Structure 1
Amino acid sequence: MGSYLILFLKGIAMGAANVIPGVSGGTIAFVTGIYEEFIDSLKAFDLKALQLAQKLRFKELFAHLNLAFLIPLGLGVFISLISLGKALDWLFNHQPVLVWSFFFGLILASVYFVSKNIRQRTPSVYVTFAIGTVAALALAFLKPAEENPAFYYIAICGVVAVCSMILPGLSGSFVLILMGNYQLIMLKAVPNTAESLLKFNIEDVLSNVGIIAPFAIGAAVGFILLSRAISFLLHHHHDSTLSTLTGFILGSLVVIWPWKNEVYLTDEFGALVLKDGESIVQGYQWFLPSLADTNTLLGIVSMVAGVIAVALLEKSARKA
């Protein structure tokens, strides 16, 4: 029961992270030490699982899908999204520096503690760590592309969106903005389709199929292939894969840096693009804070709290 409770709490942390732009559930899974099992569990949704379900062999299906792990974790994510997520969203809107600082400290400390799981520090490990870091930094400084409604491009967007759930340090919304299709997919097609389904307006649903269908296909392909690819790499090239992911998380810290000004998404006429009446962040302008500012000191305290939280988590994991 204790292990289920811990998984539930980790799920709560993963769900809450989805409220923070630039932080993904995959990052929290990585920080809390369940990333490899999370990936292996996702990979288990395969043809064998379908065959077990068809034969009504539910006990074997339960074990094959590792539902003893996924159910408490998923329950924590769900409850967090409908409860704690709202509180965190309020904090993010009213005390953004404190929230950004806590996550910055949390992820910064995780880079150190996760890197301890690298077994052999070979030259290839340092090279892949550098590649992961540079790749994440490059994403942070890219300028958004133009909107592209082509079938193949929207399918690629679907792959990218599901990658944000699996890859630590990758924010799906942020990357979709960089690819230029955030407005087309997340602000138009998805909400319009959801609204049409609720109203049983089949004609409007079909009008969005040209966007929703390739996006769903890309997401499914990304989910199937990426979970298997990462699982294979972790089992066969553990140190290089871990160092790449660690580098990616380190590079993503530039997006989470607490002291920055937001650059908002605009349309082709220069007008702000809104979602639920709020502007959408497409990038940041970073700056160094003044140490004489009380908010800066509070941010540093929050950052230290994030570091301590990971250290305590690491200590409890060793005892377990």
Structure 2
Amino acid sequence: MLKRILQGMVVGIANIIPGVSGGTMLVSMGLYDQLIESITHLFRDWKKSLRFLLPIFIGAGLALVLFAKLFEYLLAAWPIPTNLCFCGLIIGSLPFIAAKVKHNGFDASMAVCFVLFFGIVVGMALLEGKTGSAQASTTPGLVNALLFFAVGVIAAATMVIPGVSGSMMLMLLGYYEPTLHLISSFISSLLHLDWTGLMAACADLVPMGIGIGVGIFGIARLIEWVMAKWPTQTYWAIIGLIVASPVAILMGTDWSGFSLWILIAGIVTFAAGWFVASRLGGE
């Protein structure tokens, strides 16, 4: 139970950081297949599914509450060591996913899947760098609630796909900073028992939460079908997404503070990320 909550916290932290994929972390810890199965069979075998899903969701929720501001600070103050830590976490996942295709050979279809999905992640990183600074409104209202619902669907769908960052998608849509602002407002209002502020934050967070649920269930069923029909090609696509993720992260890193000491710190944090991925991998 405790290990599952810690694994959920890793996924939650990944979903906070633009460029880092919660789906990749699920793959790295050997939980991805079971997550998809638990989601798609939730109503058929709800006891088994909830035993698996609840600790993961509790951990992800705790990470969101406890670490959102911390990682916002770390990325602003120490972007290179922080991002290299994320790269270590992601690259440390490769042995787990490579084992899925180890004895299945390699052909043109697998190569196409790898290259195509590698390109998707790098392309998203390039697109992020070219997007404007337009931000969504957080003023409560029906239209805004519907927009947050739609954004929740899109972001959740990408969160479930390994290698694709849900928070990066929020950035591309202009909803990353507004969402962080809403979460911060919700937590602050809750701590100060500010019911007016709490209701204002919930006016957008609740529709977004519903959208996240819809998006996760929808994409999980699609992924289950694809994996059943083309399992090896799907895993090579996931490997392409995973290999591209560190590239996308490093492309978006602020290198202006680079120095020898920062490089040494980055090597240490990279190794720490790799170690965590290896320890949390599998059951």
TM-score, reference length from structure 2: 0.74
1:158-197 map, 5 Å: 158-180=152-174
CA contact (8 A) 2:15 2:159 kept: no
Determine which structure has the larger strand proportion and give its number: 1
Distance, in Å, in 2 between the alignment partners of 1:97 and 1:122 is 37
Identify which of 21, 25, 33 aligns with 1:24: 21
Check 1:225–1:30 CA distance in 2 against 1; reply closer, same or farther (3 A cut). same
| Shift in CA distance, 98/201, structure 1 to aligned 2, threshold 3 Å | closer
C-alpha deviation, 1:186, in angstroms: 7.1
Q: What displacement does 1:90 show?
A: 4.6
Alpha carbons of structure 1 residues 180 and 75: separation in structure 2 relative to 1, 3 Å: closer
1:108 corresponds to 2:100? no
**Equivalent AA in structure 1 for residue 29 of structure 2:** T
1:40 maps to 2:37: yes
1:169 CA drift (Å): 2.5
Alignment of 1:107-256 (within 5 A): 107-118=90-101, 119-120=103-104, 121-142=106-127, 143-144=130-131, 157-180=151-174, 198-199=195-196, 219=212, 221-256=214-249
Distance 1:101 1:258, change over 3 A: farther
Contact 2:13/2:68, CA 8 A, preserved across alignment: yes
Deviation at 1:8, TM superposition (A): 2.2
Deviates further, 32-41 or 79-88: 79-88
Q: Secondary structure at the match of 2:162?
A: coil
Q: CA deviation at 1:259?
A: 8.1
- CA distances 1:62-104 after superposition (whole Å, capped 9, x unpaired): 13xx122122222322333333555555544443322211111
Match of 1:296 in 2: 263
Task: Report the counterpart of residue 310 of structure 1 in structure 2.
Answer: 277
- RMSD of the TM alignment (CA)? 4.0
Counterpart for residue 280 of structure 1: none
Between Structure 1 and Structure 2, whose CA radius of gyration is higher? Answer: 1
Contact 1:162–1:172 (8 Å) recurs in 2: yes
Consecutive unaligned residues in structure 2, runs of 5 or more: 138-142
Match of residue 73, structure 1, among 12, 36, 56: 56
Where relative contact order (Cα < 8 A, 6+ residues apart) is larger, the structure is 2
| Structure 1 unpaired stretches of 5+ | 49-59, 262-285
Distance 1:259 1:212, change over 3 A: closer
The one-letter code sitting in structure 1 at the alignment partner of 2:231 is H
Cα separation, partners in 2 of 1:220 and 1:301, compared to 1, 3 Å: closer
Q: Any idea what the Cα deviations from partners look like across 1:107-155, whole Å, max 9, x if unmatched? A: 1232344122114123212210111100101101012267899999877
1:96 equivalent to 2:79? Answer yes
Q: Do 2:13 and 2:64's aligned partners in 1 also have CA atoms closer than 8 Å?
A: yes
Shift of 1:28: 1.4
Deviation at 1:232, TM superposition (A): 1.7
Cα distance change on mapping 1:217 and 1:310 into 2, 3 Å: closer
- Percent of matched pairs sharing the same residue: 27
| Distance in 2 between residues matched to 1:100 and 1:160, nearest whole Å | 24
Q: Which residue is 1:282 aligned to?
A: none
Measured after TM superposition, the shift of residue 33 of structure 1 is: 0.8
The total of aligned residue pairs comes to: 267
The alpha-carbon distance between structure 1 residues 128 and 300, as it changes in their structure 2 partners (threshold 3 A), is same
- For residues 292-317 of structure 1, the C-alpha deviation after alignment (integer angstroms, 9 at most, x for no partner) is x1111221222123233334445xx4
Q: Distance in 1 between matches of 2:236 and 2:265?
A: 32
CA drift of 1:38 comes to 0.9
1:260 match: secondary structure? coil
| SS state at 2:92 partner | helix
Checking the alignment, whether the CA contact within 8 Å between 1:163 and 1:170 is kept in structure 2 is: no
